[in-house]
Every structure is written in C-alpha cells, then in structure tokens.
Chains A and B, each alone.
Chain A
C-alpha cells in the first residue's frame, strides 16, 4: 500500500517576491527567512512533509523570472527541474501580477512536468480590483489552480490536497502545448525530429519539444550538451538564421514575443480589472510620493536608519538590565552551590561570566531585527535600493549589492551568501569583499558596552556614527576592490518595486526568532568554547594563591600571548587586555565582550563591567578600539563563507589581510585625532 511508495518530490518555483517562502513555511511548518524583497532564498532547501500517508519532499527553489540560465539562480532552478525529476511542480504566481508571472509559468508547462498553479496574494489582487477566473486558467494551463493568501494560511489545505492528488496521477500527466508562429513551429518540428532520432526512447514528445525550444532560444548550456551532435546543432543554426533573416528579429526574441502574445490572450480571457484605482493602490502611490520624493526621499531614509539604531539602544536598555540582574542572581546561586574549587572557578568566572556578558545583548539584537524585518516586509527595502542605486553605482557597487550589504547589518556571513543574487561575477566579488565592513549584529554588543561605558547620553549617537563609519568604509573599500580586481562590465539594474504590504506579525516573529536563535546558538557554542579557552589561558600555569591578581594575570599564558602582540597595538593606545579581546574576537566579534567579562571577573574589585572599562582607557582610545573592532578581520564563519562563495582561499586571504590594514590605519588616525582634540 502507501507504505511501500517512494517519497514524492514537489518543487516550489516562482518569481522572486511572490510569497514562495511563506508558502513553503505553511506547507512544512518550517520557518525560513521571509522578506518583501527579491531573492531571499538562495539555495534549494528540502524538507519532508507528511501528508495523507505519502511522504512528500518539498524543495523551495530560489525565485526566478525565466529558465534561461542567465543568472546563477536561474541555472540552479532549471537544473533542479531538469535533473531533479520532481513529480510535481508547484508554480507560485503573484495574483496581482498575473501577466508577468505567467512568463515563467509557460516555460514550466513546456518542461512537461505536472504543475499545480498557486495564485498567491489573491487578497491583494482583489483589493486592486483584479478578479481571476480560476476554472478558465486551469483549463488553459492543464493543471489545478489554487487561490491562496500564504501569510494568513488561506488556501494551504486545498493546496496540500492538490499536490497529493497530482502526485498520484503524475505518470499520466499530459502537458498542454503552447503554439508558436507557423515558421517557428516548422523549425521546432524539424529539430524535434532530429532529437527523436538521436535520443530514441529516452525523451517523450513533450521533452523533445522542450529541448528543441531551448536550443532555438540559444540556451548556451543545452547547446554545449548537444554539441557532439553536429547535424542537430547545424540544423538549429540554419533554422535560427533563416528565421532571423525572414522576420528581422532573433529567435529568442521571437519565442519570447510569441509567449507574451499567448499570455496576453490568456490574461484577457481569465482576468477582469475594475478600471478605477482602488484605495490600496492609491495608498502605495501616496506613500511613494513621500518616501521616494526627490528631495525628501534620502533624508527620510537616513532618518529611518538613525531611528532604528537609536531605538535599538534606548528600548534595549530596560530588558538588558533585567537579564543582567537575572544572570547575576543565577551566578550567585551557582557559586553558592559549587564548593570553591577549580570547577567553581571555571563555571563561575569562565562560562557564566562569558555567557552572561554576551547574552545581555539579546534584546538589542531582537529589536534591531524587528525593525529590519518590518522594513523589508513592507517593501521599503526595495525602495531603499532604488533610492541608493545611483550612489552605490558610483562606488563600483551594483544597486543589488544594497540588499546583501543591509543584510550584513545582521550577519556578514549571510550577506556574503546573499551576493549570489548579483549576476556578474565581478560585481559580485566586489560586494563580497566589501560586505565584511558592514557592522554586523555581533559588533553591536561591543559598541553598546564601550559607548555606554564612555559616552553616557551620547551612546546612541556614537553607535550611529560607528554604523556610518562602517558604511563609509564598506563603500570606500568597494572603490579599492573595484580598482584591484580585474576589469569587467557593469551589470544592468533590473528590480521590481512591490506594492507596500502590511507586514504579517507571524513572519516578523519568525524573522526575529531566527536571529535570536542564531545569536543564542552562538552564545551556546562559540562563546562558551571561547570563554573556557580564555579562562584556561589566564588560569595557567598555576601560581601560588598568594600571588597578587594583577601579577598572576600578567604571568599566565594569556598574559604571555598578549605581551607578544601588544607592541603592535601600542601605537593605538590599547593595553594587554584589549589585545587579548581582539585576538579572541577573531572567533566571533561578540567574544570580545565575553573576553572582557572573563578578564574582569577575576578582578574582584571591579563590580560592573562598564565601570571596570571606563577606568582602563581614555574616551579617544575607546573610540579607536571600537573602530578597530568594527573593521578588523571578518569572523571565522564569514571567512569560511567568503572562501566558498568567492572560490578559494585567495579571496578569503585578501579580505582578511586588507581588513587588518584598514582597521589598524583608521584606528590609528582616530586615536591621533582624538588625542589631539581632547
């Protein structure tokens, strides 16, 4: 019965920003990252879904506009469909954007795979006065059409049922054929005949037709794959040439044109639009009048960013104090529980001090991500890319690099991965190398600690200034890398501006929870390991109990290591504790804070970490230190991702080396200027 059935694979395919990932979450119960800007999903992800007795694997593919393979995601999508042999393709369409969404749909239908068509965001389409006749659409496309509102879970059970039903009859699926112009059809038929001869029995009529169309379209990878068959390639060339001469248009354009003609007719049949603009579309227009205003647009953007960071700091203060109190109470309880011993020291002064010193920043991270997810879900982030493209472009960066760079405020490793959306290898490399200078959330604890300790009421402004510095250095470094890396041509900037959308509380919760979870996992992993290592290094070699604390630290392994690197940092005004914190921060930037916590926990005289710090350096040195921490060496995980994404240790090395030079130089200048002013 059903138990012996092999699992069924279903692939989610659709344009960027059509709500695929939200739908994926609804179907699987998983919480991926969701945002109202294009290309959030960068790698196919697979999750099993148990539904009506049959195991269903749902694969979420990156958002694509075509199966042409111009972009890495398009190649990934096309290859997944071609080689992954999905039993069912779930094509997600933006119901309010039927015309353009169908361009991909036509190509999916042509692959011959069984398709379910999902009209997502049907509520938004209706609010724009759009009505769609699903029965007629289903008849034309040959597969079930389901209306959904993924963010509210509307229509998801119906979709699950449709997927399962379709998977049962995937063997008997017959795809409808989209007819092209007579001349094109004649060429397709001739090429199909040659293909049938070359690949007898391996390809059915639908597949050979698809291959013929791909070859006529000039898909370079398919041409490459068939390059051994001279007769076939020659026929394709001859046909293309004849068509071009006869119609005065290249083959790919002819095919695209025919598809759009088909779509136009189809949309005319199934869609009706009330001509008056609705309240919803008027709202988007009004908001854009303000937010994209010629003179007000950029100041508003800057103001929103400033507000976001200010709120992160001020709103975070209260829960921070609670967590701090709770951690102190917990530490006291644990300290009382374990008798004085080496274990006591390790747990209380090592692990608990390190974790406690870092976990207090959880509220800040939650608040920052809360704002970030609101900005992206409402559609404002796409507007920000639009406003800033000209500026980005003058720094040698692609406007599309904005989204990865903004994601960099969360995590640089994620940012580097997100650069996959940039088509040209060269523009992408520049973005990858610039991304680590964007101040990630792991640096925030360091800034909050230092800015709070040294600048009191001005702390929010200081943190804002550091973020501004990070943006300036990221852009400046892009110019540097633009000159450094091989010359190439610019990539066109094609970006959809979605209508403004009400952020769904569910998605925001997932988004915030993801970042909080990620942070907590770091606290649980890297930071515990780092804290133990630092505790160990400062505890050994063992010395008589009578040795003064300061002397004991100086003679510990940690003190010895610090002594060797401190001269490098001496011109910046950093002491040995700072050198230690910097070294340990190579693991991950939050470790800088936990290192200070561990280093100061041994020093019983200093109660509060902030007080302990403010005695240790002058405000200009504190700024210089923050600048250094901001810019030096990407963390371990980011280095690993750069190596993977940029293709080799060479670029990871370049990134690492250049960042050390930039960090040291700017910190030095800061210390000099600061010393001069004070």
Chain B
C-alpha cells in the first residue's frame, strides 16, 4: 500500500528537502501517523492539539479536499496522491488585505 504524498515548501525541513515522500495507511489519520514515524514532527504541523486538521492546512486526496471526504477518517487506496498545501486565497493575496485592515 503506497500513497504518494506531496509536501509543501514550508514543511520540507521535515522530509530532508523532499518534495514528495511515500507513506501508507487505510485512512488519512493512519497515513499521518506513518509519515510522522518517518519524518518526526510533521504531524504536529498539520494537526491541532485537539486532534483536528489545522485550519490553515488543506489536504487533498487525488485533488479532492479531505474535509469533504471525512477529514482524518478519509479512506485511502493504493496509488492515491495526497497533496498538502497551506491555505491561501485569491493567489495568496487575501491575507495581505485582511492584515492591512486589522492594522
């Protein structure tokens, strides 16, 4: 059971600089446990202390957002691609506007 996991630039310090790593698991939660065993610390950047998916992280299974597939319970299959991305809006520009407004 091999899942291809795409790692964003900001988390590559955990994967020795690799853009993509391999992992395994029947669900997203299992995959993240497996990843954390190989790349310690990475799970802590994706999951909150309460155990939910971090608000500013988007994870996709074969391009579909896991929040609509059961979140951490999302089922995975051999050959799936899991993509992890930081949440950005309108080409990374929304945050600029939001923070400018808040001063």
Whether chain B is bound by chain A comes out as no
Report which B residues bind A (CB closer than 8 A): none
| Chain A residues with a Cβ under 8 A of chain B | none
